[in-house]
Amino acid sequence: MSVLVYTENWDGKFKKLSYELVSYASAVAGMIGGSVTALSIGNVQQDELSKLGAYGATSVLNVDGAPEGLDNQVYTSIIAAAMEKTGAKVLVMAQNNTGKAIAPRLSVRLKAGLAAGVTALPESANPLVVLKKVFSGKAFAKVKILSDSAVLTLAQNSFEIAETGGSASVESFDPGVDVAGAKTTIKDVQKQEGKLLLSDAEVVISGGRGMKSSDNWGPIEELAEVLEAATACSRPVSDEGWRPHEEHTGQTGKIIAPNLYFAFGISGAIQHLAGVSSSKCIVAVNTDKDAPIFEAADYGIVGDALKVLPELITEIKAARAQ
Amino acid sequence: MHIIVCISNVPDTTTKVKFSSENTSFDDSGVQWIINPWDELALTRAMELKEDTSNAVSNVTVVTVGPAGAEPTLRKALAIGADDAIRVDSETGDAHFVAAQLASVIKNGEFDVILCGIESSDYNGSAVGGMVSEMLDIPSVSAISGLRIDNGEVLITRDIDGGREEVSVPAPFVGVVQKGIAKEPRIAAMRGIMMARKKPLQVVPVVEAEKLTTYQEYVMPEPKAPCKMIEADNVKELVNLLQNEAKVL
C-alpha cells in the first residue's frame, strides 16, 4: 500500500507546501504500511529533487519536459500513469489551484474516493477515515473512503514539516502521455515577479475598510517587508478596487492558514473569518471593541490601525535589533 | 451557444451549524437555503454574456441535484434570468454521485459551456466540476476569474500561483469559476420573479451511480481561548507577547 505524492515547484525550487505534502504522505504511509514515491513535473535539478528524501520519500519520479501551463487532462494522465507505475493506493496532493483542478478528475479516473482539504492524519487506516473542514470551517467532518484507492488533498499549513533524514533515489519517468495533445491554449501569462505568494506566506498582513483609503497601504507594505510577509485584504477592499482581487481573503476569496495573521481595520464578517480562521495566531486591530474579529483573534488592540501600524513597525524593528 | 450552470442548494452562509442523530447528519431545521455563492456568480456571468447579443448565447440552463425542497433555489435562478431549469430528483450523495447525475443530464443535452462554482459553501469539496469533466472526457479549466466570448471563441482568465493566464479550450468544456468572474451576484427583480413561475422546470429521474465517500461523523471545533486585549498605547507589549508567548515573531 504505497503512497504517491504530487509535489509542486516554483522557478525550479520546491514550494514549502511540497515538503508539507511529502511529510504528510510519509506519515500516512507509516499508518497504512508502504513507501512514499514523490512525483515532480517540470524543470527541477537533481539535487533539489533528492531533497525530498529528507522528508520521507524513498523515490522520486521526475517528468521532464512539462507542458507549458496547466492542462488538466494532460496532468491527470501523467499522475494516473505514475499511480499505475508505483501501484500506489493513496494519492496526496495540495488543496490549491492545481489540486482543485486535477484531484477531482483523478478521483474519477482512478475510481478513488476524494477527501478534499484534509486537515490531519487519517483517524483510521482501514477503512481510511480522514478529517476535513466543512461549512467553511464552522465544523469538521470525518470522511470515510469507500473505494480501494483514495485521493487526499491536504489543506495548506495544516501539517508540520517533519525531517526524517532519509534519502531518495531519483528516476526519470516517461508517463507516455501525448503532451502535444493538450487542449488548453495559453494565450497570455501575467506573473507578479519576486512577490511572495499569499498561499505560501508564513506571515500575512491584511487590511480592511478601517484603512480608509488605498493611499494608506504604505505601512502595511512596510510591515510586510520587515516580516517577509505577504499582503492581503478583506472583500470590501478588493470590491472597492483599493487592492487587487488576488489579495482578497475570505470565503469567496483565498483561504489561507499562515502562522501569523494581522487584521488591520477588518471587522471580521463571518465570510472573512472563513478564509483566515485556520491561521495559528491572529492579531486584530480595530476601533470597534465589539467587532467580531476579536472573537476569532488571539491578541487584540482596540484602536486606529493607522496609528498602531507605525508604532508596531518601530517596536518590531527594535525587538529584532536586540 | 448554450450555457448550463450547475447549482448547489446550500444553507445560507450565516447559518449557525448544528448536527443531529449523534452528530451524523446536518440539522437543517430552520435553515434558509440559497444558491451556492460561487454558482450564483457563474449564473450572473452567464446572464451578462447572454445579454450582449454579439456573443450569440442562445440559452442559459440551470441544473441541480436534490429533492423537491431544492426547487425554490432553482426558481430563484430562473428569476435571475436562466431560461429553463432541470432538477435531478434525488437526495444528494457524495461529490462523485452528484457529478454522475450532472454528467448524465449534460450528455443528454447540447451544451457548449458548463459552469460550476469552485466549491460549495457547505461541504467545501471543490470536486463536482472537475469530476463532471472527467466523466464526460472533455476539457476543464479551474480557478476562472474571467470569461468572455470573442468572435465565437471563449476566452478564459484563470488564476495561477502568483499571477494569471488567459487561456482557451475547445467546447464543450467545464469551467470552474471563482471570485472575480462577476462583480456582484445579481439579485432577482420583481419582473424576473413573476416570469420565473412560468419558465420550464424539468424533473428527471436519478441515474445509478457509485458513492466513493461518505460522511461518517461531524465534529465541532474546540472553543478557542478568549482574545487577549492589549492597550493601544502599549504596542511594545504586543510585540513581546508575539515573540515570547505565541512564539510567532
In this structure, are A69 and A127 located in the same domain?
Answer: yes
**Residues A168, A52: contact at Cβ < 8 Å?**
yes
**Residues A262, A232: contact at Cβ < 8 Å?**
no
Query: Which positions ≥6 away from B234 have C-beta within 8 Å?
Result: none
Domain count, chain A: 2
Does A300 contact B230 at a Cβ distance shorter than 8 Å?
yes
Does B131 contact A107 at a Cβ distance shorter than 8 Å?
yes
pLDDT digits (tens, 9 = 90+) for B23-80: 999 999 999 999 999 999 999 999 999 999 999 999 999 999 999 999 999 999 999 9
Give the position of cell 486585549: B229
Residue A99 domain-assigned?
Answer: yes
Q: CA of A259 to nearest chain B CA: how many angstroms apart?
A: 7
Q: What value does the mean pLDDT take over residues B224-236?
A: 94
Q: Name the residue among B142, B220, B239 with its Cβ closest to that of A139.
A: B220
Reported confidence tier of residue B222, pLDDT bands at 50, 70, 90: confident
Does B123 contact A187 at a Cβ distance shorter than 8 Å?
no
Regions of chain A short of the pLDDT cut 50: none
Asked if A89 reaches chain B (Cβ–Cβ under 8 Å), the answer is: no
Taking 80 as the threshold, does the pLDDT of residue B11 lie above it?
Answer: yes
End of a domain among A151, A181, A211? A181
Residues of chain B contacting A239 with CB distance shorter than 8 Å:
183-184
**CATH number, domain containing residue A271:** 3.40.50.1220
Would you tell me how many other CB atoms lie within 10 Å of the CB of residue A215? 8
Instruction: State the Cα–Cα distance between residues A140 and B208, nearest whole angstrom.
Output: 29
Q: What value does the mean pLDDT take over residues B207-223?
A: 94
pLDDT digits (tens, 9 = 90+) for B169-182: 999 999 999 988 99
Q: CA of B231 to nearest chain A CA: how many angstroms apart?
A: 6
Residue A280 domain-assigned?
Answer: yes
pLDDT number for residue A193? 62
Q: Name the residue among A195, A283, A319 with its Cβ closest to that of B162.
A: A195
Cis omega before residue A104 (within 30°)? no
Give the position of cell 429533492: B67
**C-alpha cell of A126?**
482501514
Nearest to A309 by CA among A231, A217, A195: A217
pLDDT number for residue A24? 98
Nearest to B87 by CA among B64, B103, B111, B70: B64
What Rg do the C-alpha atoms of chain B give, in angstroms? 21
**CATH number, domain containing residue A46:** 3.40.50.620
Does B239 contact A319 at a Cβ distance shorter than 8 Å?
yes
pLDDT number for residue A194? 58
Q: Name the residue among A184, A252, A319 with its Cβ closest to that of B243.
A: A319
pLDDT number for residue A195? 65
Does A136 contact B13 at a Cβ distance shorter than 8 Å?
yes
Q: Name the residue among A245, A296, A301 with its Cβ closest to that of B180.
A: A245
Does B212 contact A95 at a Cβ distance shorter than 8 Å?
no
Percent of chain B with pLDDT over 70: 100
In this structure, are A122 and A163 located in the same domain?
Answer: yes
In this structure, are A262 and A289 located in the same domain?
Answer: yes
Structural domain including A216 reads 198-321
Residues of chain B contacting A73 with CB distance shorter than 8 Å:
139-140
Q: CA of A213 to nearest chain B CA: how many angstroms apart?
A: 20
pLDDT digits (tens, 9 = 90+) for B16-25: 999 999 999 9
- For residue A202, give the DSSP letter: S
In this structure, are A45 and A160 located in the same domain?
Answer: yes
Q: Name the residue among A72, A95, A143 with its Cβ closest to that of B142.
A: A72
Q: CA of A114 to nearest chain B CA: how many angstroms apart?
A: 7
Q: At what angle do helices B95-107 and A97-110 cross, to 10 degrees?
A: 80
Residues of chain B contacting A187 with CB distance shorter than 8 Å:
155, 165-168
In this structure, are A98 and A62 located in the same domain?
Answer: yes
Asked if A307 reaches chain B (Cβ–Cβ under 8 Å), the answer is: yes
Q: How far is CA A233 from CA A249, A292, B77, in A?
A: 6, 16, 30
**Residues A103, A70: contact at Cβ < 8 Å?**
no
Portion 22-61 of A in contact with B at CB < 8 A: none
In this structure, are A169 and A282 located in the same domain?
Answer: no
pLDDT digits (tens, 9 = 90+) for A27-48: 999 999 999 999 999 889 999 9
Asked if A231 reaches chain B (Cβ–Cβ under 8 Å), the answer is: no
Asked if A226 reaches chain B (Cβ–Cβ under 8 Å), the answer is: no
Does B140 contact A105 at a Cβ distance shorter than 8 Å?
yes
In this structure, are A225 and A299 located in the same domain?
Answer: yes
End of a domain among A133, A148, A181? A181
pLDDT number for residue A322? 81
Residues of chain B contacting A138 with CB distance shorter than 8 Å:
17, 221
Helix (H) or strand (E) holding B202: strand B201-205
**C-alpha cell of A313?**
513597525
- Rounded to the nearest angstrom, the gap between the alpha carbon of residue A10 and the centroid of all alpha carbons in its chain is 13
In this structure, are A169 and A283 located in the same domain?
Answer: no
Q: Which amino acid does the sequence have at A256?
A: I
What does the domain layout of chain B look like in residue ranges?
2-222
Q: CA of A311 to nearest chain B CA: how many angstroms apart?
A: 7
- For residue A157, give the DSSP letter: T
ipTM: 0.94
Instruction: State the Cα–Cα distance between residues A209 and B117, nearest whole angstrom.
Output: 27
Helix (H) or strand (E) holding A224: helix A218-226
Does B142 contact A100 at a Cβ distance shorter than 8 Å?
yes
**Residues A2, A88: contact at Cβ < 8 Å?**
yes
Give the position of cell 535539478: A45
Least confident of A68-77, B85-94, B157-166: B157-166
Right CATH number for B2-222 from 3.40.605.10, 3.40.50.620, 3.40.50.11600, 3.30.2010.10? 3.40.50.620
In this structure, are A38 and A151 located in the same domain?
Answer: yes
Taking 90 as the threshold, does the pLDDT of residue B103 lie above it?
Answer: yes
Nearest to B99 by CA among B59, B130, B54, B143: B130
Residue A188 domain-assigned?
Answer: no
In this structure, are A10 and A98 located in the same domain?
Answer: yes
**C-alpha cell of A45?**
535539478
Give the residue on A whose Cα is nearest the Cα of B171.
A183
- List A133's β-bridge partners, or say none: A140
pLDDT number for residue A116? 96
pLDDT number for residue B212? 98
What Rg do the C-alpha atoms of chain A give, in angstroms? 21
B contact test, residue of A131, A147, A183 with most B CBs within 10 A: A183
Does A105 contact B133 at a Cβ distance shorter than 8 Å?
yes
Does A260 contact B249 at a Cβ distance shorter than 8 Å?
yes
Give the residue on A whose Cα is nearest the Cα of B19.
A139
Residues of chain A contacting B45 with CB distance shorter than 8 Å:
none
How many A/B residue pairs have CB atoms within 8 Å?
A: 273
**Three-class SS state of B86:** strand
Instruction: State the Cα–Cα distance between residues A103 and A117, nearest whole angstrom.
Output: 11
pLDDT number for residue B162? 72
Residues of chain B contacting A116 with CB distance shorter than 8 Å:
95, 124-127
